[in-house]
Amino acid sequence: MKITIVGTGYVGLVTGACLAEIGHDVFCLDVDPRKIDILNGGGVPIHEPGLLELIARNRAAGRITFSTDVAASVEHGEVQFIAVGTPPDEDGSADLQYVLEAARSIGRHMNGFKVIVDKSTVPVGTAQRVHGVLAEELAKRGLMHSVDHRFSVVSNPEFLKEGAAVDDFMRPDRIIIGLDEDENGDAAREKMKRLYAPFNRNHERTIYMDVRSAEFTKYAANAMLATRISFMNEMANLADRVGADIESVRRGIGSDPRIGYHFLYAGCGYGGSCFPKDVQALIRTAAESGQNLRVLEAVEEVNHGQKEVLVKKIAKVCGEDLAGKHFAVWGLAFKPNTDDMREAPSRRLIADLLARGATVAAWDPVAAEEAQRVFALDLANAPEQHARLTFASSQDDALTGADALVIVTEWTAFKAPDFAHLKKVLKAPRIFDGRNLYEPDAMAELGIDYHSIGRPHVNLANSAA
């Protein structure tokens, strides 16, 4: 099938590359010529494991094209995926300007039956708005009732984890397709069935529902996962107070099949492009419908506070005034295997350390370049603080002369460092671990003052005794 992807961001590129991989003819459109130049030059504007190789293979096979030509993109695809950004507006609601503009462009150029697929994460009712925009554009062309210009709007939300998106797309748990039973619904259903047929050969993974339910499903899924994270973080904070070990608690409750182990890890808060934005958008959608989502309001509040837990632990040990203190920070991206800095806990942590007078040497194996851009913006009004932030050339370089190591992202490279060397290069053998990578008893035996999230702190003097 001929497929058009509008938007070459995270969702659009993964979707386009994976659909090309299974044999479809994919045209990827973006209005940003910089992105298209990177892609046509053999690069990828985002970091996602396996994506560069996937695109290169399908470009060589002639199954994927990148362009800024809107008319050509609309002409190409019988199915038009809208995969543009939906950033949070000032009130927390999803900003749909890019989705609606993509729909307008399709309406201005379309000829023949088209299935327009909302792939972007959008609030309930967006498909109806997209339908209205398409109808408006066709009416301007005098084609609203033309049988040769029919269309159907479908909701097909993505469920991709950054860092594992290619595998998630190629081995989906489920494929959600929302469509309405209108005069074009049957034709749209058949096209979507053909499109995803390769993923349903072993067993049927597609779940069909109405459009509004499909839009709601995406938000509800992310809200549930965010809730589990914030729940465990609250339990970890309580464990700190009562002397329990949150890792033992995690294993104890995760063994219950009704609960399971996924998303039960305590830490320094969630970030990224999905959970913060989607929780806010769902809260806003509820408010517009006259309802307060008290659980999700608490989830958001807990996550906001959790990003301050590490710096509070640091201040308790090192003092409220950190002037003259130097910290190594390992991990800047909001999670491993990505360079995504959106809502990353490292941003709050580093900003707080700098505000308290400290200097920081930061390291991330992938996100360093993006982090430099982000912190230049975050600290634009605080040049003196920005001057106290440096980006190390290596994981080891970050440690030199630091009063403590602070771990924010659970990169694999951080899970088994050379602790003997670490002790030598740090001014003090001290670690503040926001991801609970190590065992407190083992750290104490090595002579490292180890502070984690929701796990008992082992006093070195007691350990030596």
The catalytic residues are 274
Q: Known binder of ligand: residue 376?
A: no
Query: Under a CB-based contact definition with an 8 Å cutoff, are residues 345 and 315 in contact?
Result: no
Q: Known binder of ligand: residue 35?
A: yes
Q: Known binder of ligand: residue 266?
A: yes
Query: Under a CB-based contact definition with an 8 Å cutoff, are residues 177 and 206 in contact?
Result: yes
Q: Known binder of ligand: residue 114?
A: no
Task: Name beta bridge partners: 64.
Answer: 26
Q: Shortest CA distance to 162 belongs to which of 54, 277, 272?
A: 272
Q: Known binder of ligand: residue 238?
A: no
Neighbouring CB atoms inside 10 A of 183's CB total 9
Neighbouring CB atoms inside 10 A of 163's CB total 19
Q: Known binder of ligand: residue 342?
A: yes
Q: Known binder of ligand: residue 265?
A: yes
**116-129 burial: b if 16+ Cβ within 10 Å, else e:** bbbbbbbbbebbeb
Q: What element of type H or E holds 22?
A: none
Q: Known binder of ligand: residue 191?
A: no
Q: Known binder of ligand: residue 415?
A: no
Q: Known binder of ligand: residue 325?
A: no
Q: How far apart are CA 54 and CA 44, in angstroms?
A: 11
Q: Known binder of ligand: residue 263?
A: yes
Query: Under a CB-based contact definition with an 8 Å cutoff, are residues 282 and 223 in contact?
Result: yes
Q: Known binder of ligand: residue 161?
A: yes
Structure tokens at 118: 């909302």
Q: Known binder of ligand: residue 354?
A: no
Query: Under a CB-based contact definition with an 8 Å cutoff, are residues 287 and 281 in contact?
Result: no
Q: Classify burial at 463, counting beta carbons within 10 Å of its beta carbon; exposed 0-12, middle 13-18, buried 19 or more.
A: middle
Q: Known binder of ligand: residue 27?
A: no
Q: Known binder of ligand: residue 267?
A: yes
Sheet containing strand 64-67, strands side by side:
64-67, 25-29, 2-6, 79-82, 114-118, 151-155, 175-178, 206-209
Q: Known binder of ligand: residue 313?
A: no
Q: Classify burial at 145, counting beta carbons within 10 Å of its beta carbon; exposed 0-12, middle 13-18, buried 19 or more.
A: exposed
At 270 the three-state DSSP class reads: coil
- Residues whose CB is less than 8 angstroms from the CB of residue 251 and which lie 6 or more positions away in sequence, other chains included: none
Q: How far apart are CA 207 and CA 209, in angstroms?
A: 7
Q: Known binder of ligand: residue 379?
A: no
Q: Known binder of ligand: residue 119?
A: no
Q: How far apart are CA 291 and CA 297, in angstroms?
A: 12
Pick out the residues of the known binding site for substrate. Answer: 159-162, 218, 263-267, 271, 335
Q: Please state the residue numbers annotated as binding site.
A: 30, 35, 86, 121, 159-162, 218, 263-267, 271, 277, 335, 342
Q: Which residues are annotated as a binding site for NAD(+)?
A: 30, 35, 86, 121, 162, 277, 342
